[in-house]
Chains A and B, each alone.
Chain A
Amino acid sequence: MQPNLEPIILSRTGTMIAHKSLKIIVTFTLALALLPLNAFAKADPQAKESKDEFNPTDMILHHIGDSHGWHFFGEGDSSFTLPLPVILLTEDGLVTFMSSKFHHDTEGEYVVEADGGRFVNYHEDIYRLDEGAERLKFNEDHVAINASKPWDFSITKNVAAIFLTVILMLIFFFGLAGHHRKNKNAPAGFNNILETLVLFVRDEIARPQIGDKKYMKFMPFLLTVFFFIWITNLLGLLPGAANVTGNIAVTVSLGLFTLALILINGNRDFWQHTLWMPGIPTFVKPILAIVEVLGLIIKPVALMIRLFANITAGHIIILSLIGLIFILESAGVAGISVPFALFITILELLVAFLQAFIFTMLSALFIGMAVAEHEHH
């Protein structure tokens, strides 16, 4: 059935360009509804037989996950991968070696010996094999029985990407600060764009949410977090780039910063309203205190999940669309999925800004609530 459908898809692809995006979506939905059924029906039995069979879940998780080397293209030993340092904290102290020592192995087969320890990379988790163990073994609960997991402080792909963002931000904003040191005029060109964005954060986010009196204190955090998220989001859209802001660890860290700022800067009023709400019957107060404290924690948790989920979802959609080509084993599908992936990528450009804006905006809002001076009741 599949070969018969190809010409239809191709002819649809041909006319598609002339149609509006709504029609594209309808066409695409139809194609999506019809085709995978056959494809999966055909592919599933083979998947168990052959290890080389394309597995979209593995591919996607591999692309959005972190890794110890920065892989650009190619397979196995012929692939082009930037080796990154692996830093492990074991019971015997720090162990460091380059990720290239694993020889692109992520199945726990290649054993690296360093500083007296023997290490394997199993799906980007690094295990230290016990004395005498040759191969990593797991029990039914997928817990290693002959190896331990050291603390992994490696410069992974994501950490390297974070460094890249940091370097870019330092170049950008030292440049802008340098301009201001030299002359008093408004900057031109790229510096002007940066300054406009800085003013956007100040005038549209910090000032309205925190108030004219106190916003200056939080500007460094808000500006840094806004540009960090935005630049990282944009870099994440490049081919071969890391999915940093779509990694829960990164967003957890950012969310903790917001939480810390709320906890440190919350004033007397804020704590009173959180722990012992005035103006309500005493027996309700403890109940409300529980709700308020939960709310206090949920706010940054929502922040970290929102950013992580949005960015990861965007990546998954793009990878799924590209993955369709391989699932259906047909180059013709590219006619549909590539324009769609492009469309989603352009949408992601917007999302990249939007998520940076929302994270900063809500952080400012929560901080503003914590430092607000209440008109006394």
Chain B
Amino acid sequence: MDLITPEVGLIFWQTIVFLVLMLVLAKFAWKPILGAVKSREESINEALASAEDARKEMQNLKADNEKLLQEARVERDEILKEARQLKEKMIAEAESDAQQKADRIVAKAKESIETEKRAAMADIKNQVATLSIEIAEKVIGKELSTEEKQHQMIEKMLNDATLN
């Protein structure tokens, strides 16, 4: 058996066996293996792509949230500002209202004091008049027994009367 002379028998067996091996493996091994590997690679790629999508979505959501938060903050500030303004306005209104009321009360009080005073004066005058008349009656009764005395009396009373 020479080293470099190919033997027909071995070529025959190698060719037949290799051909059969290749066909059998192609159908029952290579095809399912390569198919499975390919579908796995596809699913991995898909998973990666969807993960990337999810990441982007997350980013969008986060940005949205940030935006919403910002808006809320601005709104809150506005509300607070409005509330403060309202408070100030209310205080101011209440103050002016109170002032008016107080003024009115004071005015009324003054008015009523005036009225009372007048009434009191009138009353006093009446009482003085009455008293004067009574005194006068008594005095008249006692003093005006003579004409001279009457004159003196009148004179005196007139002098007193101007004291008011």
Contact = CB atoms under 8 A, between A and B. Distances in A.
A254 B14 contact: yes
Interface residues of B, number: 35
Nearest to A199: B37
Given A151-B8, A219-B30, A250-B14, A65 B21 contact: no
A166 B3 CA distance: 24
A152 B30 contact: no
Closest 3 A/B residue pairs (Cβ): A220-B26, A180-B36, A249-B10
Interface string A288-320: 000000000000000000000000100000000
22 contacts: A87-B9, A154-B9, A158-B10, A162-B14, A162-B17, A169-B25, A170-B29, A173-B33, A174-B29, A177-B28, A184-B40, A195-B33, A198-B30, A219-B34, A220-B25, A223-B25, A223-B30, A224-B30, A228-B18, A250-B11, A252-B11, A257-B18
Interface of B: 1, 3-15, 17-18, 21-26, 28-37, 39-40, 43
A326 B120 CA distance: 162
Contacts, number: 124
Contact of B6 (A152, A186, A228, A252): A252
Given A65-B3, A223-B30, A195 B25 contact: no
Contact of A123 (B1, B6, B15, B34): B1
B40 to A, nearest CB: 6
Contacts of B24: 170
Contacts of B28: 174, 177
A123 B5 CA distance: 14
Given A220-B22, A248-B4, 9 more contacts: A64-B3, A151-B8, A154-B9, A180-B35, A184-B43, A198-B37, A220-B23, A220-B31, A224-B21
Interface centre among A125, A166, A180, A199 (most CB of B within 10 A): A180
A252 B31 CA distance: 27
Contacts of B18: 224-225, 228, 253-254, 257
B5 A248 contact: yes
Contact of B32 (A125, A177, A216, A312): A177
A328 interface: no
Nearest to A250: B14
A174 B29 CA distance: 6
Contacts of B39: 184
B117 to A, nearest CB: 111
Contacts of B21: 166, 169-170, 224, 228
Contacts of A159: 9-10, 13-14, 17
